Amino acid sequence: MSNQPTTTTTSPPIGPGPGPGPVPAPAPAPDSIIVFPRIVIKYCTQCKWMLRAAYYAQEILSTFGTGIGEVALVPTTGGIFSVAIVQSSSSGAGAGSSSGSGSGSGSGDRVSDGETRETETLLWDRKRDGGFPEVKVLKSRVRNVVDPSRDLGHTDRALRAAAATATATATPAPASTLDPVDNQTCQDCQ
């Protein structure tokens, strides 16, 4: 054992000083401010849907870039998988005008501080919409809220082609009752 003296240093106490009154809270860092529009993807951790949620977040960010303020992945339980968009607008400038785009139901308004109104629009719900969205459908719903005039290129073309195919199969062309070979009435249509 050594016979060297031990030195002890004391540091000032952490917390409010010996002054009167409460200590003001520090100003929020610029990174902690929520930027709108904000996409919120809720996923069930018990169902192991985190990678699926991250994939959708990646696709939205790569398509819309800085047009989206934030994408949040929110872990939940109970088989929930939903995608919502939260937008902010001034209460004096027609609040809630962006929620009526018909992209999804389940809109709700929250007034955070009297000056700003946050409008949340449910874009996709696994239980309501039946499963998980195709990426092109999800991108289209996000676009319809964020910037309806924006062209999504190949995604829009694929959606138009799918809609045309669905329309053609859903409403078959009226069958002619005349047999084209001999202009007689077709017996199959009777």
| Main-chain dihedrals φ then ψ at residue 169, nearest 5 degrees | -80, -30
What is the C-alpha separation between 124 and 131, in angstroms, rounded? Answer: 9
Q: Which residue has the higher pLDDT, 152 or 180?
A: 152
Residues 23-68 pLDDT 10s? 666 665 556 677 789 999 999 999 999 999 999 999 999 999 999 9
Does the predicted TM-score (pTM) go above 0.75? no
What is the C-alpha separation between 93 and 88, in angstroms, rounded? Answer: 11
Query: Which domains, and CATH codes, for the chain?
Result: 33-169 (3.40.30.10)
